[in-house]
Amino acid sequence: MKTEKTLSIVSLVASVCAICLCLISLFAGNRKCDEKKVENVLDTVPALSESAVPRLAYINSDTLMARYDMVAKMSAEMETKMNSLQRDFDKRKNQFQKDVEYFQTQVELGSLSEQSSQEIYQKLMERQQELYDLQEKYANQVAELEQKNIQTVYDKVTNYLSRINENNKYYDFIFINTGIINVNNAYDITEAVAAGLNEEYNAQK
């Protein structure tokens, strides 16, 4: 038993030494034997056939949005809507501020009875709350319109890509630029997609 255990330990030590010698030889520059082993291992790795190589495409979303005519139209409409809401809110706010200043002047001049002052003050507080509510309402309208536009663009783009690449006819994967860097221009189909989207959009006007 002791002899067998000793032999096992000796074999283990010999194996470790052999591995260490190979590593030392590899990092010292004498790699002929080890390179041959590496080549033998690589020979066992199956090569990908040409048909198995993924066909990739890349879309730069910023460029696509800048080129897409529908996005430009939506942006213009959004700006018009926001300006209209802002003008309306500013008009109401300015009138409210004038009424507050007038009320303060009348109070300072003593031209209002205490009862009248209380009634006007209460009405002003109600109008102030109405302004807060209106501001929130307009902000929600803008947010809802923005979300609707985003969803519309997303649906248009994904639908278009699905149709031109039906059953993975051209590409196995189509990536949008989020989190992707150093893209080979050969895979960039942004301009072609923008042109196709614009052709369909302008044809539907």
Query: What pLDDT shows up at residue 200?
Result: 94
Query: What pLDDT shows up at residue 106?
Result: 94
Please state the rounded mean pLDDT for residues 44-65.
73
Spatial contact of 156 and 64, defined as CB atoms under 8 Å apart:
no
Mean pLDDT computed over every residue of the chain: 80
Query: What pLDDT shows up at residue 42?
Result: 41
Helices (H), the chain: 2-28, 32-43, 61-67, 69-109, 114-164, 190-203
Q: Which residue has the higher pLDDT, 144 or 54?
A: 144
Spatial contact of 68 and 198, defined as CB atoms under 8 Å apart:
yes
Q: Which residue has the higher pLDDT, 106 or 54?
A: 106
Query: What pLDDT shows up at residue 36?
Result: 52
Spatial contact of 59 and 193, defined as CB atoms under 8 Å apart:
yes
Please state the rounded mean pLDDT for residues 149-164.
94
pLDDT band at 51 (very low <50, low <70, confident <90, very high): low
Query: What pLDDT shows up at residue 15?
Result: 43
Q: Which residue has the higher pLDDT, 24 or 136?
A: 136
Beta bridge partners of 56: 173
Structure-token pair, residue 193: 């997609």
DSSP string, 106-157: HHHHT-S-HHHHHHHHHHHHHHHHHHHHHHHHHHHHHHHHHHHHHHHHHHHH
Q: Residue 6 pLDDT more than 50?
A: no
Please state the rounded mean pLDDT for residues 172-197.
84
DSSP 30: -
Least confident of 29-33, 90-94, 139-143, 195-199: 29-33
CA triple 139-64-56, angle to 5 deg = 130
Q: What is the pLDDT of residues 94-113, one digit of tens each?
A: 999 999 999 999 999 999 99
Please state the rounded mean pLDDT for residues 75-90.
97
Q: Residue 86 pLDDT more than 80?
A: yes
